[in-house]
């Protein structure tokens, strides 16, 4: 799911500057359906964005925000 969010933001793995996950932890799958969260907590940085995990009732996904002020508001994260 990290890769999906990178792609959605026109970035790729080569753009990653730092990540709190080990390589083997990056392979741990997230659970898109409801249940118990499976993915590990993390923060990942590129030159332009900061990526982080989101969970709502056990469903997991990845979101991101701009790394620098850009006057673009962040929508609510974590469900409706």
Sign of the Cα pseudo-torsion (9, 11, 15, 20, in order) = positive
> 42 near 52, Cβ under 8 Å?
yes
What local confidence, expressed as pLDDT, does residue 66 receive? 96
Return d(Cα 62, Cα 39) in angstroms, integer: 10
Checking if the pLDDT of 74 tops 70, the result is: yes
Contact assessment for residue 31 and residue 61, using Cβ atoms and an 8 Å cutoff: no
pLDDT digits (tens, 9 = 90+) for 8-65: 999 999 999 999 999 988 887 776 777 777 778 999 999 999 999 998 887 888 999 9
Tokens 């991101």 correspond to 64
Longest dimension (CA), the chain: 36
Phi and psi angles of residue 8, each rounded to the nearest 5 degrees, phi first: -60, -25
pTM: 0.87
């Amino acid at each position: 799911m990290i890769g999906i969010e990178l792609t959605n933001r026109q970035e790729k793995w080569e753009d990653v500057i730092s990540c709190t996950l080990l390589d083997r932890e990056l392979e741990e799958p997230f659970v898109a359906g409801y249940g118990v969260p499976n993915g590990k907590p993390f923060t990942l940085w590129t030159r332009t964005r900061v990526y982080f995990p989101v969970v709502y009732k056990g469903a997991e996904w990845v979101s991101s925000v701009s790394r620098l002020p850009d006057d673009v508001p962040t929508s609510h994260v974590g469900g409706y």
